[in-house]
Structure 1
Amino acid sequence: MKVKVISRSTDEFTRERSKDLQRVFRNYDPNLRPQEKAVEYVRALSAAKLDKIFARPFIGAMDGHIDAISCMAKNPNNLKGIFSGSMDGDIRLWDIASRRTVSQFLGHQGAVRGLTASTDGRVLVSCGTDCTVRLWNVPVATLKESYESSDNSVKVPLEVYVWKNAFWAVDHQLDGGYFATAGAQVDIWNHNRSQPVRSFEWGTDTVISVRFNPGEPNLLATSASDRSITLYDLRMSSPTRKLIMQTKTNSICWNPMEPMNFTAANEDSNCYSYDARKLDEARMVHKDHVSAVMDIDYSPTGREFVTGSYDRTVRIFQFNGGHSREIYHTQRMQRVFCVKFSCDASYIISGSDDTNLRLWKAKASEQMGVLLPRERKKHDYHEAVKNRYKHLPEVKRILRHRHLPLPIYKAAALRRTMTEAARMKEERRKAHSAPGSISTRPLRKRRIITEVE
């Protein structure tokens, strides 16, 4: 006699890692769930509130410099290495994971104004106000050693190139052997030559920043103290295009995913995104800072960029967003001179006037560490319902709210009052003038004085 029995696997009806919890099966037929949108709205509201509860962006400070930090550089060959240079000539290599100094490079007699690493990460190039360019060897194994064992010997530069003027910035080709320095002119250097292989000059003012294009190695953009933004091509004997704005641009950064676009950090507390093929107007104006924007750096994904400002804050912008999605500040942080995204887009490093490097999370409420599959699904679901209901007033108010320091709050309110007063004045002037006699330029074109071919 044969008896047939029903056989079921326990794994099909219990949750992972929890054999005592029954798995819940849901029928997603909308006819059986008439309150689906109401339930999801409550979940979106709860997810927005949880974001505020768990928003702890500050991870820690890397203390070691004894003067203001003026520049930083990422190591493209190592995920957790960051270089920093200070106003007293000290250059350090930091291990982000342990937040301590791995190596020191001593040799500059003045402020270090520019740092960059070669594509393979083995050569560090530094320049400063002592009119020298120094090349340093970066050992690959230093990040695995302890601070005591790696810092006993003084690092000697591989090469020292002495020039006739001070330097303000340096940048290395992403794919190539050249690097460019900015000062009284733009000089193109080779690792094996003590003299520049080429020099560019357009005007007599000091060039204060230089950046190579990540997609086209022969194209670079510079900004100068005469309020100009200039594009150069190494394959041509003269500069390509020049743009003059109303205020000075302190730093430039190309979008790594859209290499034809770049964003300029300006002295008027705004950032301007341009298309290098059409410079007559800005693609986007990014507003929220209340003082000069000193530095800017794009995320490796190209979807966001981070800015550091003279108003003692760090802000994160969407590449196509007019206002910042996040603002970071501490009570002791002073004027921010340099900011960088980590190579995995998970962290932000800022260097300020108070001699500290600070490490932040790119997403303030992100859970650190290894996530279980169930936890990851929960986070993804929370993000989905927040994006679905972010336009509703209550969810939007919670997601947008940020606590600001009192000086920044007052300065932002004053800027809004001034902007509104200028707008009303312009409207009244147009209303009491002959039709068509006064033309209003849009904000994307208003900051540009002229474009020089």
Structure 2
Amino acid sequence: MKVKVISRSADEFTRERSNDLQRVFHNYDPSIRSQEKAVEYVRALNAAKLEKIFARPFMGAMDGHIDAISCMAKNPNHLKGIFSGSMDGDIRLWDMSSRRTVCQFPGHQGAVRGLTVSTDGRILVSCGTDCSVRLWNIPIAAPIELGGSTENSAKPISVYLWKNAFWGVDHQWDGELFATVGAQVDIWNHNRSQPVNSFEWGSDSVISVRFNPGEPNLLATSASDRSITLYDLRMASPVRKIIMMTKTNSLSWNPREPLNFTAANEDGNCYSYDARKLDEAKCVHKDHVSAVMDIDYSPTGREFVTGSYDRTVRIFQYNGGHSREIYHTKRMQRVFCVKFSCDASYVISGSDDTNLRLWKARASEQLGVVLPRERKKHDYNEALKNRYKHLPEVKRIVRHRHLPKPIFKATSLMRVMADARKRKDERRKAHSAPGSIKTAPLRKRRIIKEVE
């Protein structure tokens, strides 16, 4: 009896340059692929669920300080190094890859309130409540690259004593000047023991300062009288000033759009401004339930990270009203300082519990070597989620974040209060003469006045 069989060559159905992978035939005719959208929707749903399954943002803690961490600084020349200063005067250089101390900088007698690194990455500038500014030589990159475990101590190359305590310091992005703030704004040079220039507008303390990344002579400060002020070093007086309803704790310029900056405010919101038009905020970033203590932009300029008194770290899009990510642990206390790493891959937070914590900027990002096929798969999943993000089920899974119970209750309470305030305004308008009551948007409502 004859048995007829179909005979095929294995070479025709094997992918090139491989012996074990079957060749895949694609037919892009939409009439043949009638279930294309249904299949893609299921894949987008699975991609959103897988992102939640693999979300492990916490990398580890860097333990060594014995008091609350008050400030941090990053070195643009060394990717793995991060500086931290604490309330007891201790300054440390950390190696993020091994999460160990590389070098210590003893000398301050009080709290370290500001740290910054010079343009060339060789000098560290620190200031504190002991009325002193100290300049330090940064150790060479060898201990950082090798991950040495021995802790070295450095001595300051210069110590400048002044008549008032300092609350912040920042260095020019391109230049030899740095600015300190306290009772006034002082401009220093590395080679001068006295300020080369001083600015003052009002009698309250200035609490933060940031130089503009695009224009080296422009800087912004925030003060305890609820003001945000712009200064130009080429002019004899400050340029512009706005007074808000609540105090601004920190500022950060967008490195890719140097005219825009974002202010971390005491009311739990962040406000993005255009330096050319300060009468209205460009965007209001809401989600924190307590004061925002620090803010730092990603080197890409598309995101920024905030640390808050409510013991959480949040990541916002530069133009997004709500955070895309929230990081928290059971042991983490009030967050006083946050930084993006120089490659925008990690976030470092310093809190009241004496710990520096290292987080991934993308919670579900795969670490280590990613093969080309894996990279294509990740890109395909991202494209699917972006295409179907408006559908309710995908949107719900992507947006969901587990919140600690106190923050969840505080968020619910704030939502109830906002709804009640909105209903009250609507009823007041309904029972008043048309046009007699005008409600300003939140972008303008928080600004009391602008002073030229």
Q: CA offsets per residue over residues 78-104 of structure 1, 9 Å max, x none?
A: 000000000000000000011100000
- The answer for the alignment partner of 1:14 in structure 2 is 15
* Alpha-carbon separation, structure 2, partners of 1:420 and 1:249: 26
Match of 1:45 in 2: 45
Check the 8 A contact 1:76/1:121 in 2, yes or no.
Answer: yes
| Distance of 2:273 and 2:258 partners within structure 1 | 11
Q: 1:146 to 1:44 in 2, by over 3 A?
A: closer
- Correspondence for 1:25: 25
Match of residue 291 from structure 2:
292
After TM superposition, the structure 1 = structure 2 runs for residues 48-447 of structure 1, keeping only pairs within 5 Å, are 48-140=48-140, 141-149=142-150, 151-152=151-152, 154-447=153-446
State the partner residue of 2:4: none
Q: CA deviation at 1:160?
A: 0.1
CA distance in 1, matches of 2:187, 2:35: 66
Per-residue deviation at 1:25? 1.9
Q: Distance in 1 between matches of 2:312 and 2:322?
A: 14
| Aligned amino acid, residue 345 of structure 2 | S
Q: Deviations over 1:325-359 (max 9, x none)?
A: 00000000000000000000000000000000000
Q: Are 1:75 and 1:82, in contact at CA under 8 Å, matched by a contact in 2?
A: yes
Q: Which residue of 2 aligns with 1:3?
A: none
How far did 1:452 drift? 0.2
CA offset digits 1:191-212 (Å, max 9, x no partner): 0000000000000000000000
In 1, the alpha carbon distance for the partners of 2:23 and 2:13 equals: 8
Amino acid at match of 2:101: T
CA 1:182/1:9 → structure 2, altered by over 3 Å: closer, same or farther? farther
Give the partner amino acid of 1:161.
Y
Partner SS for 1:20: coil
- What amino acid maps onto 1:55 in structure 2? A
Question: How far apart, in 2, do the equivalents of 1:159 and 1:145 lie?
Answer: 29
Give me the CA root mean square deviation.
1.4
- Whether the 8 Å CA contact 1:272–1:282 is kept in 2: the answer is yes
SS state of the match for residue 70, structure 1? strand
Inter-partner Cα distance in structure 1 for 2:16 and 2:64: 48
Unaligned runs of 5+ in 2: 1-8
Does structure 1 retain, via aligned residues, the 8 Å contact 2:100–2:149? Answer: no
**Contact residue 13 and residue 22 of structure 2 kept, 8 A:** no
What is the TM-score when the length of structure 2 is the normalising length? Answer: 0.96
Q: Deviations over 1:220-271 (max 9, x none)?
A: 0000000000000000000000000000000000000000000000000000
Residue 413 of structure 2: SS of its match in structure 1? helix
Structure 1 Cα separation of the partners of residues 420 and 324 of structure 2 = 26
CA distance in 2, matches of 1:259, 1:12: 55
Q: Is the 8 A contact 1:124 1:135 kept in 2?
A: yes
Matched position secondary structure for 1:113 = strand
Match of 1:4 in 2: none
Render the CA deviation track for 1:260-287: whole Å, top value 9, x for unaligned: 0000000000000000000010000000
Separation of aligned partners in 2, 1:286 and 1:223: 18
Q: CA deviation at 1:14?
A: 2.1
Cα offset, 1:364, TM superposition: 0.4
Query: Structure 1 vs Structure 2: percent identity of aligned residues?
Result: 81
Q: Compare 434-443 and 375-384 and name the one that shifted more.
A: 434-443
Residue 148 of structure 1 deviates from its aligned partner by 4.5
CA-CA distance at 1:120 after TM superposition: 1.4
Matched length: 443
Structure 2 contact 222–251 (Cα < 8 Å) conserved: yes
* In structure 2, C-alpha distance between the alignment counterparts of 1:427 and 1:314, rounded to whole Å: 35
| Distance change >3 Å, CA 230–CA 9, structure 1 → 2 | farther
The question of whether the paired residues in 1 share the 8 Å contact of 2:98 and 2:147 is answered with no
Q: Are 2:209 and 2:251, in contact at CA under 8 Å, matched by a contact in 1?
A: yes
- Conserved? CA contact 1:266–1:293, under 8 Å: yes
Mapped to 2, the partners of 1:15 and 1:123 lie a distance apart of: 55
Q: Which residue in the other structure is 1:5 paired with?
A: none
C-alpha contact (below 8 Å) 2:117/2:123 kept by paired residues = yes
Tell me, in whole angstroms, the C-alpha distance in 2 between the residues paired with 1:189 and 1:9.
75
Stretches of structure 1 lacking an aligned partner (at least 5 in a row) = 1-7
Quick one: distance in 1 between partners of 2:410 and 2:319?
25
Per-residue deviation, 1:23? 2.2
TM-fit CA distance, 1:13? 3.9
Q: Secondary structure at the match of 1:262?
A: strand
**Contact 1:15–1:22 (8 Å) recurs in 2:** no
Question: Contact (CA 8 Å) 1:103, 1:147: kept in 2 or not?
Answer: no
Q: Judge which range, 63-72 or 434-443, deviates more.
A: 434-443
- Matched-pair contact (CA < 8 Å) for 1:253–1:262: yes
Residue by residue over 1:278-335, the C-alpha shift from the partner in whole angstroms, topping out at 9 and shown as x without a partner, is 0010000000000000000000000000000000000000000000000000000000
Other structure's SS at 1:72 match: strand
Q: Distance in 2 between matches of 1:289 and 1:364?
A: 19
Q: Match for 1:289: what amino acid? A: H
